[in-house]
């Protein structure tokens, strides 16, 4: 039997570690690849198992249809399934207008698929309704970075710079479980003398490597950061020259933080004044420093403000745009960065262009060969698409690369919405909790089968080659979309044979946009192990470090934003006195669709376990089998509890990787951030009872 060695990149987190996959006598062996300069020589436990779900018996391999959702699925041919979809779309649009059909995409998909979904919706469906799961993920960070810097690239520095930094603040980011192969960079920095501060309601695996841990109640970040800014400004540890030459808005920041003395912060949050002073002084005095945030601070009703305040820390100390310095909103999904640049967002056209800007509309219309007037306007955010279904405006939805029944806040509302649709098409690998409501269920491609480009958390655009063939009757996601466009009479606009054809068009479409890929070719990506965007010309080497000389606002400056902590999220009261926060385990990935079907991972964490503090356990008289019932204003769940003093006493943590009766999103709040529409996954008022 021959041995076949292929190169791919892990399908899970934003690190995008490269892997070597060897197929030997029908068995796959996955090893880290040493050649790609992101996670040299390492893969985490999910990466090592990444092939397993793609060969799972549960993977669907042919199209399925049914005329009534109560019926069992019937196998179908592609021809019948796609004709059925196209005919129904056309008749629904005839009866209810073009916007009756919506698309829901995902951040695991390649840049080409993200681009294709945006173009398909605007050109083939001519609908304004497209959004994607990244709305639940990177939208606060994207809005904050755009406001502060004029551009959104998650990390403003390459990973290598972490090792060169002398002071690293990690807020609401659990890197040890969520981007495990980034840990060696942090450990290298520590070895070279860096101080690491972690800020989280829990003592996490990440905080184990920290020198100082700030354990705060969910929602207290902006108060605490105002305390840090107060110390830096009042004691004049700031970088006056940087502020003067490269920023604007310091006056209003000074005014706002003037009253946030460390003592007042201590009164408001319980964080000791001495701790606030120490961190503020040490960070400001360090030669270099990095601040990183993730969903812990971003998935809140005030998520944009929280992120802006952490950015203020970099700006006030001049720690950005030079070696070992910068701000990083740690991107989550495989292509969480690229997935938000090429047009699958409700208000966006490729290259981070705005769908409401006339110049942007004209430029993209020209690339697409249509009239700008025929481009739809902006639609609504992911969760609001379900509102539009409830209101009867959206009648059909196509979901590709997401499992919103598990991952949406207040998920019973989403489930109810899907049941109201006249037509739900799901393109996935598995019969997910979402696919269970579908009328047409199509087998798409996994990461091993679809070649394409992705953009990792650093902003490094790279090429992922095809490493395996499609199973039985499955098709490439891109083929499905192109064939549907053809059946909708728009095939001429989608003349692609390969991912490279789509990438080349995407690069042209991005020219002059903020995420400018126009200097890239797949050959260049392969030759250089990826290239950092922006890369505006063919002779440009890419931009590993952002903002060395200028920010992306028209005046070249970065903007401070004075943050007055609001409390716009859900409030606790005597009926719901505790705070539920949700997040991740190292073992599982997102809605669990893939990792729950990976035996070696699922065995390690078969069900969600709630983390609760001994104080709360005692208060509710938890004993015996340690089962607890958690109830929010929207629902209840009964779970096994783990008593641990590694959590803020009034907070309960539950991972969200399960569906049905184990889904914590039946409880979470659907309050959305005012501008970017990020849901508040990290704070929800609950009561807790022992069962
Ligand atoms: N193993 C694994 N890795 C993943 C994923 C996965 O599902 N599993 N998902 C990927 C994706 S898409 C994403 S977006 C990233 C997410 O990566 P992270 O954002 O790092 O993950 P979370 O567990 O959601 O949240 C991080 C931390 O925020 C803390 N937190 C909660 N509330 C607050 C608060 O108010 N303030 C502060 N400072 N902290 C708070 C939580 O206790 C938690 O430890 O991970 C990526 N990597
Ligand atoms: N309570 C709570 N909820 C959360 C969060 C939280 O912290 N707390 N975090 C939010 C965040 S940050 C995120 S990113 C979302 C993610 O939530 P989801 O988007 O629901 O996450 P996934 O499980 O990645 O769903 C991807 C689906 O696409 C399929 N798939 C994967 N790759 C491909 C492909 O290439 N082609 C096709 N056709 N299908 C594919 C998978 O099988 C899976 O069913 O969850 C959000 N929900
Ligand atoms: S760190 Fe992320 S990309 Fe790397 S192997 Fe683990 S899950 Fe995959
Ligand atoms: Mo995410």
Give residue limits of the domains in the chain. 3-50, 64-137+335-532, 139-330, 578-690
Q: Which atom of ligand 3 is nearest to the CA of 334?
A: 3
Give the per-residue pLDDT at 567: 77
Give the per-residue pLDDT at 2: 62
Q: Whose CA is nearest to atom 3 of ligand 2?
A: 407
The closest of 474, 439, 429 to 73, measured between CA atoms, is: 439
Fold for the domain defined by 3-50: N-terminal domain of TfIIb (2.20.25)
Give the per-residue pLDDT at 1: 47
Vertex 201 angle, CA 199 and 205, to 5°: 70
Query: Residue 35: how many CB atoms within 10 A of its CB?
Result: 9
The closest of 328, 247, 331 to 290, measured between CA atoms, is: 328
Which CATH architecture best describes the domain 139-330? 3-Layer(aba) Sandwich (3.40)
**105 touches 133 (CB < 8 A):** yes
Strand pairing category for 64-65 and 27-32: unpaired
The bound ligand whose nearest atom lies closest to the alpha carbon of 16 is: 3
List b or e across 121-156, with b for residues whose CB sees 16 or more CB atoms inside 10 angstroms: bbbbbbbbbbbbbbbbbbbbbbbbbbbbbbbbbbbb
Q: Ligand 1: which of 132, 332, 605, 665 to mutate, most ligand atoms within 8 Å of CB?
A: 332
64-137+335-532 belongs to which CATH class? alpha beta
Global confidence as pTM: 0.97
Q: Which two tokens stand for residue 488?
A: 């909708």
Q: Whose CA is nearest to atom 7 of ligand 2?
A: 583
Give the per-residue pLDDT at 569: 86
Query: Span 578-690: which CATH code?
Result: 2.40.40.20
What whole-number distance in Å separates Cα of residue 147 and Cα of residue 150? 6
Averaged pLDDT score across all residues of the chain:
97
Q: Quick check: CB of 110 below 6 Å from ligand 2? A: no
* DSSP code for 121: I
Q: Which residues of the chain have pLDDT under 50?
A: 1
Distance of CA 218 to the CA centre of its chain: 19
Q: Which two tokens stand for residue 496?
A: 């692609």
Taking CB atoms within 8 Å and a gap of at least 24, the contacts of 275-279 are 275/212, 275/214, 276/224, 276/227, 276/228, 276/231, 277/231, 278/212, 279/169, 279/197, 279/212, 279/214, 279/228
Q: Which atom of ligand 3 is nearest to the CA of 47?
A: 5
Give the per-residue pLDDT at 623: 86
**506 touches 516 (CB < 8 A):** no
What whole-number distance in Å separates Cα of residue 224 and Cα of residue 276? 7
Q: Whose CA is nearest to atom 5 of ligand 3?
A: 47
- Per CATH, 64-137+335-532 and 578-690 having the same topology is answered no
User: At 103, phi and psi to the nearest 5?
Assistant: -125, 140
């Amino acid at each position: 039997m021959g041995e076949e060695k292929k190169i791919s990149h892990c399908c899970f987190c934003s690190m995008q570690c490269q892997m070597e996959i060897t197929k030997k006598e029908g068995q796959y062996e996955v090893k880290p690849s040493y050649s790609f300069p992101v996670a040299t020589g390492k893969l985490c436990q999910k990466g090592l198992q990444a092939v397993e779900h793609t060969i799972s018996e549960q993977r669907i391999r042919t199209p399925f249809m049914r005329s009534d959702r109560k019926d069992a699925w019937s196998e179908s041919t592609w021809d019948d399934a796609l004709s059925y979809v196209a005919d129904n779309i056309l008749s629904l649009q005839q009866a209810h207008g073009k916007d009756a059909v919506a698309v829901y995409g995902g951040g695991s998909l390649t840049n080409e698929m993200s681009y294709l979904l945006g173009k398909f919706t605007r050109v083939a469906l001519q609908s304004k309704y497209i959004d994607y799961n990244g709305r639940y993920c990177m939208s606060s960070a994207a809005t904050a970075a755009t406001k502060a810097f004029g551009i959104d690239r998650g990390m403003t520095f390459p990973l290598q710079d972490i090792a060169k930094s002398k002071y690293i603040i990690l807020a609401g980011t659990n890197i040890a479980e969520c981007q495990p192969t980034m840990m060696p960079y942090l450990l290298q920095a520590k070895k070279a003398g860096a101080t690491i501060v972690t800020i989280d309601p829990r003592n996490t695996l990440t905080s184990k490597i920290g020198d100082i841990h700030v354990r705060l109640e969910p929602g207290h970040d902006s108060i605490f950061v105002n305390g840090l800014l107060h110390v830096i400004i009042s004691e004049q540890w700031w970088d006056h020259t940087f502020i003067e030459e490269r920023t604007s808005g310091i006056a209003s920041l000074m005014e706002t933080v003037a009253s946030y003395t460390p003592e007042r912060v201590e009164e408001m949050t319980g964080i000791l004044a001495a701790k606030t002073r120490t961190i503020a002084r040490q960070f400001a005095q360090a030669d270099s420093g990095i601040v990183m945030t993730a969903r812990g601070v971003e998935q809140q009703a005030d998520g944009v403000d929280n992120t802006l305040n952490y950015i203020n820390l970099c700006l006030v100390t001049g720690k950005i745009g030079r070696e070992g310095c910068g701000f990083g909103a740690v991107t989550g999904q495989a292509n969480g960065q690229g997935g938000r640049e090429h047009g699958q967002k409700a208000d966006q056209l490729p290259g981070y262009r705005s769908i409401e800007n006339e110049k942007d509309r004209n430029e993209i219309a020209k690339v697409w060969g249509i009239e700008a007037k025929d481009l739809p306007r902006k639609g609504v955010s992911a969760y609001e698409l379900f509102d539009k279904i409830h209101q009867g405006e959206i009648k059909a939805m196509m979901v590709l690369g997401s499992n919103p029944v598990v991952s949406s806040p207040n998920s019973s509302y989403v489930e109810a919405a899907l049941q109201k649709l006249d037509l739900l098409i799901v393109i996935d690998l598995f019969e997910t909790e979402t696919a269970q409501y579908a009328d047409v269920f199509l087998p798409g491609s996994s990461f091993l089968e679809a070649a394409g480009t992705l953009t990792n958390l650093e902003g490094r655009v790279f090429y992922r080659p095809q490493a395996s063939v499609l199973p039985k009757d499955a098709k490439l996601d891109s083929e499905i979309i192109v064939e549907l466009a053809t059946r909708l009479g728009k095939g001429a606009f989608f003349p692609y044979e390969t991912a490279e054809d789509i990438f080349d068009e995407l690069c042209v479409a991005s020219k002059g946009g903020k995420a400018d890929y126009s200097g890239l070719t797949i050959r260049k990506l392969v030759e250089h192990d990826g290239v950092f965007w922006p890369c505006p010309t063919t002779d440009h080497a890419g931009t590993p470090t952002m903002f060395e000389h200028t920010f992306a606002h028209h005046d070249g400056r970065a903007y401070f934003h004075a943050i007055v902590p609001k409390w716009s999220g859900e409030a606790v009261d005597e009926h719901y006195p505790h705070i539920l926060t949700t997040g991740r385990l190292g073992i599982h990935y997102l809605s669990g669709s893939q990792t729950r079907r990976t035996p070696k991972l699922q065995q390690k964490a078969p069900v969600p376990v709630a983390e609760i503090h001994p104080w709360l356990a005692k208060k509710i008289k938890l004993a015996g089998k340690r089962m607890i019932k958690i109830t929010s204003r929207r629902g209840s769940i009964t779970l096994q509890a783990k008593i641990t003093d590694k959590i803020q006493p009034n907070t309960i943590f539950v991972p969200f990787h399960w569906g049905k009766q184990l889904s914590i999103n039946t409880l979470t709040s659907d309050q959305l951030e005012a501008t970017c529409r990020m849901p508040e996954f990290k704070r929800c008022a609950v009561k807790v009872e022992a069962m």
